[in-house]
């Protein structure tokens, strides 16, 4: 009986140690973020889409702009990359992950149905809503992966002070009069 109690005590101690080591989030552990994304049709989202991100003083075609808005009460971060110039024919998605203390947003543009591209360019808006983002200053890295023309590349990295509730970053200040309408 004494041998049984010692064995159970050791097993219980070992189980608690393993449980404690596996629990919680650290900077090495992946943080699971509830998210949803939407990508516009060619031409961007309609003006009526909420939120409208009125913070940028220029016209839509003036620049590619990363807009963000934070809802502290619900810990919800809405990120929109507006006026992104890509081939008209593609499958698009946007994702966010927490990696080594940085929120990494990845935009993907792949040939339509795996093999089709067009002979035209379009502007698109990528929108992502991420739930469970704690307030404060965060580091955000924006990555883009055009799967058929090279690899994954970094578009921008910097800090967002979520206490400011909203803001924007100009990603490309080249006016697009050719493909933007």
Cα torsion at 64, 103, 74, 19 (round to 10°)? 160
- Read off the pLDDT band of 22 (50, 70, 90): very low
* Number of C-beta neighbours around residue 76 at 10 A: 15
Give the 3-state secondary structure of residue 162.
helix
Q: What is the pLDDT of residue 181?
A: 64
Residues with Cβ within 8 Å of residue 165, at least 6 apart in sequence: 69, 70, 72
Task: Say if residues 124 and 86 touch (Cβ distance below 8 Å).
Answer: yes
Six-digit token pair at 82?
């507006």
| pLDDT tens digit sequence for 79-92 | 999 999 999 999 99
| pLDDT tens digit sequence for 44-65 | 886 555 556 767 888 888 999 9
Task: Say if residues 122 and 42 touch (Cβ distance below 8 Å).
Answer: yes
| pLDDT tens digit sequence for 119-171 | 989 999 999 999 999 999 999 999 999 999 878 999 999 999 999 999 999 99
Q: What is the pLDDT of residue 80?
A: 93
Q: What is the pLDDT of residue 32?
A: 72
What rounded mean pLDDT belongs to the chain? 81
* Number of C-beta neighbours around residue 163 at 10 A: 10
Higher-pLDDT residue of 32, 6: 32
Give the 3-state secondary structure of residue 14.
helix
Q: What is the pLDDT of residue 144?
A: 97
Q: Provide the residue count of the chain.
A: 181
The C-alpha atoms of residue 87 and residue 143 are separated, in whole angstroms, by: 17
Instruction: Give domain limits for the chain.
Output: 27-172
Res. 13: pLDDT tops 60: no
- Read off the pLDDT band of 42 (50, 70, 90): confident
Higher-pLDDT residue of 114, 162: 162
Q: What is the pLDDT of residue 16?
A: 36
| pTM attached to this predicted model | 0.79
Higher-pLDDT residue of 140, 42: 140
Six-digit token pair at 162?
């979520």
């Amino acid at each position: 009986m004494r041998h049984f109690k010692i064995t159970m005590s050791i097993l219980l101690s070992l189980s608690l140690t393993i449980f404690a080591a596996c629990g919680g989030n650290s900077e090495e552990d992946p943080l699971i973020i509830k998210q949803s994304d939407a990508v516009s049709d060619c031409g961007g989202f309609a003006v009526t889409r909420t939120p409208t991100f009125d913070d940028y003083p220029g016209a839509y075609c003036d620049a590619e702009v990363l807009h963000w808005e934070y809802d502290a009460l619900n810990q919800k971060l809405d990120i929109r990359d507006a006026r992104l110039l890509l081939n008209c024919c593609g499958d698009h998605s946007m994702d966010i992950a927490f990696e080594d203390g940085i929120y990494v947003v990845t935009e993907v543009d792949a040939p339509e149905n795996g093999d089709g591209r067009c002979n035209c360019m379009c502007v698109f808006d990528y929108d992502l809503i991420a739930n469970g983002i704690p307030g404060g200053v965060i580091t955000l890295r924006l990555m883009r992966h055009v799967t058929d023309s090279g690899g994954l590349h970094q578009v921008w990295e910097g800090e967002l002070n979520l206490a400011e509730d909203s803001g924007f970053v100009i990603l490309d200040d080249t006016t697009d009069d050719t493909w933007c309408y």
